Amino acid sequence: MTAAGRRRNVRLILEYDGTDFHGFQRQPGVPTIQEAVEAKLLRITGERLVVTGAGRTDAGVHATGQVIHFRTAGTIPTERLTVAMNSLPPYAIVARDAREVPDAFHARFDAMARVYRYWLLDGEPSPFYRRYTHRVAPLGDLGRLREAAAHLVGRHDFVSFCAAGAEVAHHVREVKRLRIRRAGALVMVEVAADGFLHSMVRIIVGTLLEVAAGRREPGEMPAILAARDREAAGPTAPARGLFLTRVVYPEEVLRRRE
Amino acid sequence: MTAAGRRRNVRLILEYDGTDFHGFQRQPGVPTIQEAVEAKLLRITGERLVVTGAGRTDAGVHATGQVIHFRTAGTIPTERLTVAMNSLPPYAIVARDAREVPDAFHARFDAMARVYRYWLLDGEPSPFYRRYTHRVAPLGDLGRLREAAAHLVGRHDFVSFCAAGAEVAHHVREVKRLRIRRAGALVMVEVAADGFLHSMVRIIVGTLLEVAAGRREPGEMPAILAARDREAAGPTAPARGLFLTRVVYPEEVLRRRE
């Protein structure tokens, strides 16, 4: 139990099917993940809380490991919070692993890495994978894709892989890992980085698919980076295949001093 | 290619996410699988065809192996039919394995067995399994469920497991197999029978869940059958966990005489 009156900083993990939401961030007049989660918390705590997410997933993008934090003076024990949240609609959003964290913890600013996975369906259409994969023409051997992907690993200016019109101060990001794995008809592209520009994973995947189709060569990737021009890269792959799967924090920001 | 004018009898397999449909069978004013498939075929062939399904799945029930047949005078080659169908919405319905069959073949009347699978989620809620499973309280050991299920295998009057108000001439069906298998947090109940009464699988599952919860004993199943009363069995499990997975035909009805 928590003493009433004191404000706890709570971190929890969200999984969601983003198909029917206009992204994470609250926007007037359309359903968003943030608004739906805040509405659940209002019913549970009676407080109009503001939740902060580690990643601002776009419309139609899913999550298995989105991290949020919020400060509450409510008296519901932290360990009962997720069961209460999951008993309320919308059920397309599921909370897990609620945990009290130090007051200073911030889901977005403290994140040192984020991991996204993009799922391709390299096979016959399926009504059950439809919401969660992007179906592609046969990819064949993944060697060419992996060769292209290897050029993107490391610290680069990724402005060529950033949605036009996005306003951020600088475009240098460090891609720590870019793996491509096959499991039957599913091919997963996993990208881990210290941060992501708007639509960065989807433009990387769209460009890799042009390599798979033979319209580009793996060796073209450095020139695409160097161009510093969105037009140099491939199209933006659809939102439905993309999942925010993990957010990594330094140990110390999560450790509570008792 | 097929000569124009001659009517082919075509059998194909449908997979569908039934969440947004009011079942297979056409009904005025609501979206149904039958109507959606007939609309796709109208666009492809220009003909107002009537399709017949092997099983009349209810609202919200899915399929990975529904079988339909229809007779067409259209000229599109049979092998191109499914690609054409899958390029048209709704994409929640996918066709595969189109095949020309003997004129006499009838998807419903010739079926000698149907297989349904019901998926239970015995674990934490998930937004991705939500449309396709029924989440249950921890099932524990499946031994009690399997013991209860064993009493239902064989030729029985299943009227206790038939939705009240369903009008059928007789209620004797032969359950050929009733298996319960676990794969991680998923538990699958598979029922194969020569035919099914309305909601039969869902009432069987609802009754097994009462056994799992300790509200009934496995040994009560023969008395439930003998009661010949819907009130004697458990509640109807929700549609979302149910899949029509396979329809079995005698070899000879599918064999074409050339």
Say what the ipTM of the complex is.
Answer: 0.83
The pLDDT value given to residue A6: 79
B128/A124 CB distance under 8 A: no
Domains recognised in chain B with CATH numbers: 8-110 (3.30.70.580), 113-245 (3.30.70.660)
pLDDT at B55 over 70: yes
Q: Is A119 exposed, middle or buried (0-12, 13-18, 19+ CB in 10 A)?
A: buried
Side-chain half-sphere of B179: how many Cα atoms within 13 Å?
A: 10
Structure tokens at A178: 């870019």
d(CA B192, CA B244): 10
B124/A96 CB distance under 8 A: yes
- Cβ atoms of residues B82 and B97 within 8 Å: yes
d(CA B35, CA B28): 10
**Which residue is listed with tokens 């503001």?**
A50
d(CA A121, CA A187): 6
- Cβ atoms of residues B84 and B98 within 8 Å: no
Model confidence at B164, pLDDT cuts 50, 70, 90, reads: confident
pLDDT at B1 over 60: no
- Cβ atoms of residues B68 and B53 within 8 Å: yes
Structure confidence by residue, pLDDT tens digits, A131-147:
999 999 999 889 999 99
What does the DSSP assignment read for B155-192? EEE-GGGS-TT---S--EEEEEEEEEEEETTEEEEEEE
pLDDT at B112 over 90: yes
d(CA A3, CA A10): 14
Mutate which: B82, B94, B129, vs A, most A CBs within 10 A: B94
B92/A15 CB distance under 8 A: no
**How far off is chain B from A86, nearest CA to CA, in Å?**
8
Name the amino acid, one letter, at B10.
Answer: V
Could you list the pLDDT tens digit for every one of the 258 residues in chain A? 444 567 999 999 999 999 999 999 999 999 999 999 999 999 999 999 999 999 999 999 999 999 999 999 988 999 999 999 999 999 999 999 999 999 999 999 999 999 999 999 999 999 999 999 999 999 988 999 999 999 999 999 999 999 987 677 789 999 999 999 999 999 999 999 999 999 999 999 999 999 999 999 999 999 999 999 999 999 999 999 999 999 999 987 877 654
Which residues neighbour A168 within 8 Å (Cβ) at sequence distance 6 or greater?
Answer: A162, A197, A198
B146 near A CB under 8 A? no
Which residues of chain A are within 8 Å of residue B19 when distances are taken between CB atoms? none
The residue-averaged pLDDT of B115-132 equals 96
* Whether this model's pTM surpasses 0.80: yes
A125 near B CB under 8 A? yes
Structure confidence by residue, pLDDT tens digits, B245-255:
999 999 888 77
The pLDDT value given to residue A5: 61
Structure confidence by residue, pLDDT tens digits, A1-23:
444 567 999 999 999 999 999 99
A128/B15 CB distance under 8 A: yes
- Cβ atoms of residues B158 and B225 within 8 Å: yes
Structure tokens at B177: 């197999």
- Cβ atoms of residues B74 and B85 within 8 Å: no
The residue-averaged pLDDT of B67-96 equals 95
The pLDDT value given to residue A257: 56
A24 beta partners = none
Model confidence at B168, pLDDT cuts 50, 70, 90, reads: confident
From A58, A122, A194, A229, the catalytic residue: A58
